[in-house]
Amino acid sequence: MGKMDERMEMLRDEFKARYGDGDLRFFRAPGRVNLLGEHTDYNDGWVLPIAINRDISIASRARDDRVVRLYSLDFQEETEFSLDDIAPSTTRKWSNYVRGIALELEKRKIRLKGMDAVLQGNVPIASGLSSSAAMEIGFALAFQGLNGFDMAPVEMALLAQKTEHEFIGVMSGIMDQFISRMGQKDHALLIDCRSLESRAIPLSGALGAGRGSNRDLVFVVGDTRVRRALADSEYNIRRRQCEEAVRLLEPALPGIKALRDVSLEQLQAHEQLLPEEVRKRARHVVTEDERVLQGVAALEGGDMAAFGRCMNGSHDSLRDDYEVSSAELDTIVKAARSVPGVLGSRMTGAGFGGCTVSLVEKTAVEKLTQVVKGRYQAAFHKEPSLYVCTAENGAHEVK
């Protein structure tokens, strides 16, 4: 029995103990690691995430009334609410993602049945791997499965993003919900956050396949185990700074709608229009968009060393220009880059804690683990969590 099967059996047993026998339906929605394109999504730019082998899993059954009962195995907490009176919970905040999704569906005149559900996740919370988007998409899919309405994947991602904005109060871009719903196994997904067009970029020729001249490579995530207390508030500040940059540049560059419309040459020509802090924020976004497109070209050309250099440049820009890194993230990145066989390393996610992602030759994973854990322990007197991530499919019903 595979790992997913074991988790589903655990969910089934817990569901039976709490809510009784009956036909259950199971859903999963993955977290994500963003390989390139940090803080570009809400600037209408490009991002390059993968859906990962860590997810929120749900056992669910429809009810005859309008009550939703939820039990979280991770928190060992239960909560319930009525679909006729949906309000945020102050004591079971993890349930607000489900409440918000239900409210958005109801606003769209989709009259939902109640639900009993047991959930469990192995996406580290507040780590920058998008456990929140996995919750939103997982339950949007569960409501869809139990109620039988049609919703296109892009529409579901937008609905989940609206939940994040209006119910949770975080002005997230579209990437996290999009990749959780639409990820493809063994591929990264290049997402144009303006048009919402996407293109799957194969990784199998470069990662783990050992074909031709490509080395046997994996992505290793380093979790600082620092939960991102500053991330949400600082995220909203950065977003406002980017909007300010566009407002100040627009007289010189008529027609620009977002920093995605500004080239590095244009930014350099008009940088005197921007206060220093705003200029640095804009420079990160403009150069990061360039790095995403360069990184895609490197992947398609099998030039993994060039892709690693894009990752390195991304971290340095996030640290120096966008100022969303941290001592813990920088320590892991610096340690990882010192190991032969590591092609690139960067923070991933909103910042101020959370995770790094490194592109590593398989033969170097053991050395990487040893060096990173040793240096992190010496600096912070605790160990980071390290794990190899694979690119997986987006959210789906588990049969």
pLDDT (0 to 100) of residue 124 = 73
Helices marked H in 79-152: 96-107, 131-147
Return the residue matching tokens 């975080």. Answer: 170
**Cβ(117)–Cβ(79) below 8 Å:** no
DSSP code at position 94: G
- Residues identified as active-site: 176
Residue 302's identity, in one-letter code, is: G
Per-residue pLDDT of the chain (399 residues; tens, 9 = 90+): 345 578 899 999 999 999 998 899 999 999 999 999 999 999 999 999 999 999 999 999 999 999 999 999 999 999 999 999 999 999 999 999 999 999 999 999 999 999 999 999 988 776 667 789 999 999 999 999 999 999 999 999 999 999 999 999 887 778 899 999 999 998 999 999 999 999 999 986 555 444 433 458 889 999 998 876 666 678 889 999 999 999 999 999 999 999 999 999 999 999 999 999 999 999 999 999 999 999 999 999 888 999 999 999 999 999 999 999 999 999 999 999 999 999 999 999 888 888 999 999 999 999 999 999 999 999 999 999 998 998 999 999 998
Q: Which residues contact 232 (CB under 8 A, 6 or more apart)?
A: 169, 170, 350
The interaxial angle of helices 131-147 and 96-107, nearest 10 deg, is 50
In the numeric block, which tokens belong to residue 197? 């067009």
Beta bridge partners of 202: 187
pLDDT (tens digit per residue) in 44-85: 999 999 999 999 999 999 999 999 999 999 999 999 999 999
In Å, what is the CA distance from 198 to each residue of 117, 151, 201, 276? 32, 18, 9, 34
pLDDT (0 to 100) of residue 144 = 98
**Cβ(77)–Cβ(61) below 8 Å:** no
- The β-bridge relationship of strands 67-72 and 25-36 is unpaired
Q: How far apart are CA 344 and CA 291, in angstroms?
A: 13
Q: Is 138 exposed, middle or buried (CB count within 10 Å of its CB: 0-12, 13-18, 19+)?
A: buried
DSSP code at position 174: S
- Which is nearest to 30 in space by CA: 397, 393, 354, 398? 393
Q: Whole-prediction pTM value?
A: 0.88
Distance of CA 330 to the CA centre of its chain: 20
> What are the φ/ψ torsions at residue 246 (nearest 5 degrees)?
-65, -45
How is 203-231 classified by DSSP, letter by letter? -TTTSS---TT---EEEEEEE-----TTH
Q: Which residues contact 163 (CB under 8 A, 6 or more apart)?
A: 97, 100, 101, 103, 104, 136
pLDDT (tens digit per residue) in 11-20: 999 999 999 9
**Cβ(221)–Cβ(332) below 8 Å:** no
Q: How far apart are CA 291 and CA 37, in angstroms?
A: 7
Domains of the chain: 3-199 (3.30.230.10), 203-389 (3.30.70.890)
Cα dihedral sign for 247, 249, 254, 260? Answer: negative
Can you point out the beta strands (E) in the chain? 25-36, 46-62, 67-72, 77-82, 115-121, 187-192, 198-202, 217-223, 342-348, 355-361, 385-389, 396-398
pLDDT (0 to 100) of residue 216 = 84
In the numeric block, which tokens belong to residue 106? 């109801």
**Cβ(309)–Cβ(344) below 8 Å:** yes
pLDDT (0 to 100) of residue 384 = 95
Q: How far apart are CA 380 and CA 377, in angstroms?
A: 5
With the CA atoms of 238, 169, 348 and 76 taken in that order, what torsion angle do they form, in degrees rounded to the nearest 10?
150
In the numeric block, which tokens belong to residue 215? 């080395």
**Cβ(236)–Cβ(164) below 8 Å:** no
Q: How far apart are CA 360 and CA 311, in angstroms?
A: 12
- Which is nearest to 178 in space by CA: 326, 37, 339, 294? 37
pLDDT (0 to 100) of residue 56 = 95
pLDDT (0 to 100) of residue 213 = 38
